[in-house]
Structure 1
């Protein structure tokens, strides 16, 4: 356990430029305090000491504002930045090198006793306020943007944003980028705006086509719009007048 805690401290130093020393991390980082108490609570939980595990988890929640169920599975080099309001449910599984920000929920959407919380694979980043709900999987290296609501599986290496979460950056475009705080880059495209732009483009094209069709003569008709016969003369409104003018 102590080896894991040492790795956790090193991960915080690597991902938070505000961290000046290891001692500062140990004394002043609530994310580290919550993780320390989780590791103790989880050890008790796995030994069947459920009440002790829940009590240690409760102490961590009171001290840090971070709630991690002792039954959750969390890998190495885990970092909760800022942390207030983070909730991690009982059957959640978190891989190695995962980063969560404040207000994140890894929650369940059902009442059954089986797997009901998310699985986050290695290297996942979840931005502040994001809600990842249900027994879904967020693939390796994926990013969840701030305030997103994830309700279905997320492929490895992509960035998702919005409610419900949609892919904003594909794996091919993201694979060469470095660590991205909050899972959101400053130049990230808006998938909703992109979809609206596409719809507006199609509407503009359809309007142009309709205008073109309305202004064109019917197929096979003379250019002057007549039917090919000499039009009948307009009737003379005078009483008794014939059509030939007599």
Structure 2
């Protein structure tokens, strides 16, 4: 199984669920159900965006992108989070505009929504399994969207059933609860993508410096920086050694530092610059 295959299956299921939810929403005139259906449609859009991002991220490094295209996945996660914010805002606005409107009960609609809830729960667990197995951030983000469908569907069903019994305002309240959940999930996605996109430090610089200074030949650590590509950790280090050290020995020091960073800090791509020590 590949990441793009998982996304393709996810997209097809989300499309079917979205159509079912919208049909029930319009049939019962429920704001919350319509909102949930729109949310499921955005999941289809998310699947498409994620699929395109994965395709681009798998492209080998080229002249324009010498470090590769891995960050396109994080960019896609940022886009997905932004889309969630827009959807959450629209749901809240719609809830306020339609508050107090009557909601109809439908036994068939209830069966459809419960079936969609079960399918979404299975889909979430299945995608999280493959996200862990394939070590894919984009699948984790997409599974978060599917989880939001599970949570909102539960809120929708409860709110709809209460609203259909005459408590019309509850339907709008639950629509607002849905939007709040979506806002929170968007925040979590922003929280995971933005640090990588802006090259936030990935490893504590003091810990790296202390570890490097334990290498006998290193006189001074002048600079330590680390970041994440979205797939692996990257670091660049500047150290000083005895100015009389041979090139071969300096190269050995650099190899020792790279090995240390890989084994202790899980840094897969390290650039070590050696300079002569000056008192």
Q: TM-score range by the shorter chain?
A: under 0.3
Q: Tell which has more relative contact order, 1 or 2 (C-alpha 8 A, sep 6+).
A: 2
| TM-score normalised per structure 1 | 0.25
Determine which structure has more spread, i.e. the larger CA radius of gyration: 1
**Structure 1 or 2: more helix by fraction:** 2
